[in-house]
Structure formats: C-alpha cells, structure tokens
Amino acid sequence: MDCLFLTARDGYEAIAAFESEPKIDLILMDCQMPRMGGLEASREIRRREPPGRRVPIIALTAHAMRGDRDRCLRSGMDDYVTKPIDPDSFREMVLNWLTQVRFSETRKAAAKRQSQVDNQASPLVAARGKVRGRILAAEDNDVLREFAVEVLEEAAFDVDSFEDGAMALTAAQKNPYDLVLLDGHMPGKAGFAVAQSIREGNGKNADVPVILISGSSGPHCESDRSAAGIDDFLIKPYSPDQLLTIVERWLNRKHADTPEIAENRVRVS
Ligand SMILES: [Mg+2]
C-alpha cells in the first residue's frame, strides 16, 4: 500500500502527531496503550478537530470483550478490529476507509462550488462525454456502494447495485448489462468467482466488460485475471473521478466495437 505513516507510542504522542500533520487520512488506534489509551486519545482528537474535518479512526484491540465495540464508537472511533488481525480483511477495511475519504473530499469540493454559485447544484465530478449504459455494481461496504451509485447515477448511468456476489450473479444471469463492476473482497462469493461464473454462463453478459475493484493489480491478480475473465482493475483507494474514468473508457471501447451502437452515437451527438 502506498502510504506514509506517522507512529505514536501512546495517546499523548498520537494527539501530538495528529496536531502536527493536517493531512492525515486515517488513524489506527490501539485501545490498550501506556499513559493514555486509545479511547481517551480518540475523544481528545475529536475535541481538537476543526469544524468540517473528521479523520476516520479504526480501533485495534487485543482482548475482544463484550461492549468493546460500543465503547470505541462512543469515544468517537469509526470502526473496530480485533487482534490477531486477519491481513486480508484488515487491508480491505483500511482501503475502504481511504476510498470513503476520497469520496468525502470530492463531496466537500462540490458543496463548496455550489455555495459559490447561487441556486445551482454542483456536480460531484466534472461533466464528460455522452456515453451511457446499464451497470451492475457489487460492493459489500454499504457506504462505498452508496457513494459509487451516487456518482454513477449523477453521470446518467443506470445502476443495479448489490451487497454481495451471489445477488450480483443472479442479476447478471437475468439482465443484460453494458458493464460489470465487482468488489474483489466480499463475503460469500467474491469478485473473481462472480466474474468467472458470468463468463462461464455463456449468457446475456458473456462478453460484458468486467472491472474488478481491488487493493492491488499485482502479479498474483494478473495470473488469475484471464482465467476469471477480468478486463481491468480499479484500485482502492479510488476517487469518484477514477471510477468514472475507467467506466467510461470501457463503455467507449464497447460501443466502438459494436457497429450499430457506434452509428447511433454518431447520429445523436
Ligand atoms: Mg469488500
């Protein structure tokens, strides 16, 4: 993961690090630390945050006890993970939070633009070409799914969204889509397996562009990519702009490959 880290040995150092660096995107906070623990440090950080800024805090705890999660959330933390940490799930959690941060920044920028132009809704992302299409999107993180759907619908795409891979696959077997977006890490049927089933089904979506949303496009992914029929990767953390860019690139390519659609696009434009 391409990140810069600030480290702290206790709550006091965590607060000092937070105050020294205005561009922290995410805080990983151990609950049990000497001098000042994570709960107190989180409360203190929330008190010191300027208006409009809220850095996500993920609690790390060694002893999962009843009520721990609620105590963490009441202290101003946003998420919770218990040691020993499962690396894949933890990585997914961090990437999801970082993606949410990027979407929130885009939203804030849109709200600022809107406040500068009276009575005009400001789009989340800049207006682009005229490519349209029906998209199937599967993402198990509720907030990210809602953010992605909002951005895609604002760009005038029709979106069917699902919180798990099995539901997405059922939809893909029933309806034709212009593009499929699949989160790589979902409970039950993950993105690779859904993509493979869509391809093997030889049904309505056998040739649809499939984009896997992943934490990496490294060699281990590349080796499975052709077997699963993945066309491209959208790497977390991604911004609304990066989401639209990759969707439009593949829809443009799909339309260019389909003569009658390409003809239609020439006629309407
Ligand atoms: Mg996921």
At 223 the pLDDT is: 66
User: What percentage of the chain reaches a pLDDT higher than 70?
Assistant: 90
User: Which structure tokens are listed for 149?
Assistant: 């759907």
List the structure tokens of 161: 């969204």
69 CA distance to ligand 1 centroid (A)?
A: 20
Ligand 1 centroid to residue 264 C-alpha, Å: 37
pLDDT class of 206 with cuts at 50, 70, 90: confident
Residue 124 confidence (pLDDT) above 90: no
Give distance in angstroms: CA of 91 to centre of ligand 1. Answer: 10
Å from CA of 79 to ligand 1 middle? 15
CA 133 to ligand 1 centroid distance, Å: 24
CA of 8 to the centre of ligand 1 (A): 29
Question: How high is the pLDDT of residue 126?
Answer: 72
Q: Is the pLDDT of residue 17 over 60?
A: yes
79-82 β-sheet, strand order:
27-30, 57-61, 79-82
CATH dotted code for 11-85: 3.40.50.2300
Q: What is the mean pLDDT of the chain?
A: 87
For the record, the structure tokens of 255 come out as 């339309």
Task: Give the number of residues written for the chain.
Answer: 269
pLDDT category at 262 given cuts 50, 70, 90 is very low
At 206, is the secondary structure helix, strand, or coil?
A: coil
Written as six digits, the tokens of 142 are 């509720």
Expressed in angstroms and rounded, the spacing between residue 192 Cα and the centre of ligand 1 is 12
Task: Compute the distance from residue 184 Cα to the ligand 1 centre, in Å.
Answer: 6
Start-end of CATH 3.40.50.2300 domains in the chain: 11-85, 134-268
Distance 17 CA to ligand 1 centre (A): 30
DSSP letter, residue 214:
E
Q: Ligand 1 centroid to 116 CA: how many Å?
A: 36
Distance from residue 138's CA to the centre of ligand 1 (Å): 9
Q: Token pair 């002893």 is at which residue? A: 63
> CA 95 to CA 102: how far, in whole Å?
11
Please, how many CA atoms are within 13 Å of residue 31, restricted to the half-sphere of its CB? 22
Residue 175 is encoded by which pair of tokens? 């309806």
Whether 258 has a pLDDT exceeding 70, the answer reads no
Give the pLDDT confidence of 62-73 residue by residue, as tens digits.
877 778 888 999
CB 78 within 8 A of CB 56: yes
The pLDDT tens digits of the residues spanning 217-254 come to: 665 566 677 777 899 999 999 999 999 999 999 998 87
3-state SS track over 54-119: CCCEEEEECCCCCCHHHHHHHCCCCEEEECCCCHHHHHHHHHHHHHHHHHHHHHHHHHHHHHHCCC
DSSP string over 126-144:
--------EEEEE-S-HHH
Which residue has tokens 């963490």?
A: 72
pLDDT of residue 267 exceeding 70: no
* % the chain with pLDDT above 90: 60
Query: What is the reported pTM?
Result: 0.85
Cα–Cα nearest to 91, from 104, 81, 78: 81
- Which residues surround the ion ligand 1 when the cut-off is CB under 5 Å? 140, 183, 185-186
User: What's the rounded mean pLDDT across residues 109-114?
Assistant: 82
CA of 121 to the centre of ligand 1 (A): 31
| Res. 268: pLDDT tops 50 | no
Q: How far is the CA of 89 from the centre of ligand 1 (A)?
A: 8
Q: Which CATH architecture has domain 134-268?
A: 3-Layer(aba) Sandwich (3.40)
